[in-house]
Amino acid sequence: EPEVTQTPSHQVTQMGQEVILRCVPISNHLYFYWYRQILGQKVEFLVSFYNNEISEKSEIFDDQFSVERPDGSNFTLKIRSTKLEDSAMYFCASSEVGTSGPSNEQFFGPGTRLTVL
Amino acid sequence: QKEVEQNSGPLSVPEGAIASLNCTYSDRVSQSFFWYRQYSGKSPELIMSIYSNGDKEDGRFTAQLNKASQYVSLLIRDSQPSDSATYLCAVNKLSGGSNYKLTFGKGTLLTVNP
């Protein structure tokens, strides 16, 4: 069964460093998303991406964050200067094209645990 | 008012019983509703989606939606210890032209006792 994959599974970094989290969405999906979940808290939307541009972003997704689809399979989230409060699980998700816009069902990858020291 | 509300639990049921999980949402424009299961330290796994009022059954799972009451529920029949997890209610908001993001509740922790 096709699935979303993410690398690395765990990333440890120093405050102020840049990190890149990688995702390979399900192959026939064209809508991509990043969510994060701080330990003990709810899953929060960060950004959605379609046709090589951001469709929507949340207040969390400030200038320190960026997303890119560098090739035909990868989807990345970059955090330019990490803060302690960026420590969280970051989930990539994807959905296929629906009748008008994205299909409603989003499928999540296993996540990257980011620890900022 | 919180956008998506769930009882945090824990909800404890004996093996073989019916587990009932509830969720309310604040935005009347919401169109699509989802239940995800999340094991500790793992990612959300989609188990049910429901779009219209009424019941939707899939195996041991039944989702129920009442848009007038802004209420969605998940019933798990013949609960198994492997069903022990946090169940997340998620809503796809269409207000403001947004049909991309899912808004999640905090989740209900379900424990099924053997």
**Contact residues, chain B to chain A, C-beta under 8 Å:** 31-32, 34, 36, 42-46, 49, 51, 88, 90, 92, 98-107
Q: Give the Cα separation of A74 and A84 in Å (integer).
A: 26
User: What pLDDT was estimated at residue A99?
Assistant: 63
pLDDT 10s digits, B31-66:
889 999 999 999 999 999 998 999 999 999 999 999
User: What pLDDT was estimated at residue B24?
Assistant: 95
Residue B94 predicted with pLDDT over 80: no
The distance of A97 to chain B (nearest Cα, Å) reads 12
pLDDT 10s digits, A5-62:
999 999 999 999 999 999 999 998 888 999 999 999 999 999 999 888 898 899 999 9
Strand ranges inside A26-87, DSSP E = 31-37, 43-50, 53-57, 65-68, 75-79
The torsion region of residue A40 among left (phi > 0), alpha (psi -120 to 50) and beta comes to left
User: What pLDDT was estimated at residue B7?
Assistant: 86
